[in-house]
Structure 1
Amino acid sequence: MNKIVREHYPVSQLPEDLRAQFPGVETVRLVIEEGAARQSENAPLGRGEGEDFWATLQQARASLKEPRSLRDAVADIRALRDEWDEE
């Protein structure tokens, strides 16, 4: 993906609709990025991406020592969160 960054870009050179967003400002940081083919998180995965995801998921499931209940998982997460809160 292409990306252009301009520091201290004059607001006076922006299109009028954008200039109106910056009253009293002389310069801005301008970032322009090429639109991605898949910008939405809900967009379908490509063939390779989907296969990689499922392979990784299967490996993670296989590495589990024993099945965990939802209650146990939530308790562990809360304990970890509480450790961070104490610091």
Structure 2
Amino acid sequence: MNKIVRQRYPVEKLPADLRDGLPAGRTVTVTVEESEPPSKEKLLHLLEEARKADPIPDDPVERIRALRDEDD
């Protein structure tokens, strides 16, 4: 995981959304850390949870019929 630290960084150089509430003419310490992407196991778990919440029929014809009949 990468991490970048800039000390005494001018507030004026910050993006507008990060400048809000900070006084002009001051300096800040900026720390940027790379987020760790979710593991394969975590993604599979999330997919399984999503399928449990809204199961998709295995048969494509059955799925199309279910979608078609949804409006009735």
TM-score by length of 1: 0.40
Structure 1 or 2: larger helix share?
1
TM-score by length of 2: 0.47
Instruction: Kindly indicate whether structure 1 or structure 2 has the higher relative contact order, using CA contacts under 8 Å at least 6 residues apart.
Output: 2
